[in-house]
Structure 1
Amino acid sequence: MSDQSPRFGLPFILPGQAQKELFHNEALILVDAVLQAAVEEGPRAAPPASPVPGECWIVAAGATDAWSGRGNALAAWIDGGWRFVTPPAGMTVWDKSGGFPRRWDGSVWSGGRLTCSGLSIDGKAVVSERLPALANPSGGTIIDAEARAAVAALIATLKSHGLTD
């Protein structure tokens, strides 16, 4: 058996361990940082000058000072010091400054992008698998320039929103 949890490296209390409360409290501090995690801003290269207890940041690759060597980890300011948590692939945090989620895929933090196979509202599919590209209208025996322009504008709008190719 390991002395820490496999996902977040939370310290276990081991049989016969002295000062068990220290290990228990450290685990609670780390759980507090990662449970429904929220960061002050996206990846940052240097620690803030005046952090407030409980605030958390994503450490940028190549970070400096107290964050050196901790790239992509979550850094939480607790009890006058930094605690670091290495995120497992799939972890999502809320970016307070951006107002959107950030997701760790195991190699990079994404910002504001959600990946899914579809979107349903009240059980009705609103966005689902992408269909083949739409062609602008052409052909026909009677050409209505206004109708073609309107259809072309609709297709352009769908493309600009990423709903079709």
Structure 2
Amino acid sequence: MPDATARLGLPYLAAAQAQKHVTHNAALRQLDALAQLSLESLTVSAPPAAPSDGQCWFVPAGASGAWAGQSGRIAAYEAGAWDFYPVRPGVCAYLAGEGRLRVFDGTAFVSPLAASAHRAAVEALVLEEDVLLSGAHVDTVQAIPARAIVLAVSTRTLAAVTGAASYDCGLAGEPAKFGGALGIAVGASNVGVIGPSAVYAPTPVRLTANGGAFSGGRVRVAAHLILCPGPAA
């Protein structure tokens, strides 16, 4: 009989084993880390200074410190110590820093929607930002990436807009592409669904004042996107 389970590598208790609780607790600790896996990052290469119990990271190439030599494994922190676990192809993880899912292809975490053997993929992404309003128009700091396909841009007024009677949501040159004459009261919202539209350079979303310049207010903007990264070499 093998010493560990085939998929997660959880240790088995041996017949007549002494201190069975040690092996059992090790299996529970590993299961707690790997089941419904949540990762803080795929790219951080040095252990964080103050991790919390239960946090996990994927260890990239060139990792340092306590993670040195553990590339391609999951680093899990609990009770003041790091544990390192292998990850099998097909494991799905939630990326806490990105708010989306990834699936492990045997080497890297890739899009769960579709990915080729050479990592050409279809990815979904939402870029969200709270925008403080001032002047004739305001652009988001985050730009829609080049060659992204835009499905929609949604908005919600978080703090009442002042100085303008309404606002438009769009792009430079297309100010109402995702919605015109939008509400200025707290809670006003819009989902600016459009036919899929590609951008070919990094492009911020623009909020444009109607009937006067913005003198205050805050609007949450979310760009709903599809990305199509090409194959690796």
TM > 0.5 between the two?
Answer: yes
| 2:197 paired with 1:157 | yes
Partner of 2:30 in structure 1?
Answer: 30
Q: Please state how far the C-alpha of 1:156 moved relative to its aligned partner.
A: 8.1
Number of corresponding residues = 125
> What amino acid maps onto 1:54 in structure 2?
G
Pair 1:100–1:54, CA change in 2 (3 A): same
Q: Whose RCO is larger (CA < 8 A, sep 6+)?
A: 2
Partner of 2:92 in structure 1?
Answer: 92
> Would the aligned equivalents of 1:43 and 1:72 in 2 still touch at CA under 8 Å?
no
Partner of 1:106 in structure 2?
Answer: 106
Percent of pairs with identical residues: 35
SS of equivalent residue, structure 1 residue 157: strand
Q: Please state how far the C-alpha of 1:159 moved relative to its aligned partner.
A: 9.9
Per residue, is there more strand in 1 or in 2? 2
Gaps of 5+ in 1: 117-153
Pair 1:6–1:155, CA change in 2 (3 A): same
Gaps of 5+ in 2: 116-193, 201-225, 229-233
How far, CA to CA, are the matches of 1:39 and 1:50 in structure 2?
Answer: 16
Q: Please state how far the C-alpha of 1:78 moved relative to its aligned partner.
A: 1.1
SS of equivalent residue, structure 1 residue 45: coil
> What amino acid maps onto 2:94 in structure 1?
W
SS of equivalent residue, structure 1 residue 26: helix
| 2:46 paired with 1:69 | no
Partner of 2:223 in structure 1?
Answer: none
Pair 1:58–1:162, CA change in 2 (3 A): closer
Pair 1:30–1:115, CA change in 2 (3 A): same
Superposed CA deviations along residues 3-62 of structure 1, whole A, max 9, x for unmatched, are 111222211100011100010011001000011110112232111111111111111112
Q: What is the TM-score when the length of structure 2 is the normalising length?
A: 0.49
> What amino acid maps onto 2:84 in structure 1?
F
Q: Please state how far the C-alpha of 1:72 moved relative to its aligned partner.
A: 1.6
Per residue, is there more helix in 1 or in 2? 1
Query: In the TM superposition, what are the counterparts of 1:2-151 in structure 2 within 5 Å?
Result: 2-110=2-110, 112=111, 114-115=113-114
> What amino acid maps onto 1:114 in structure 2?
L
SS of equivalent residue, structure 1 residue 42: coil
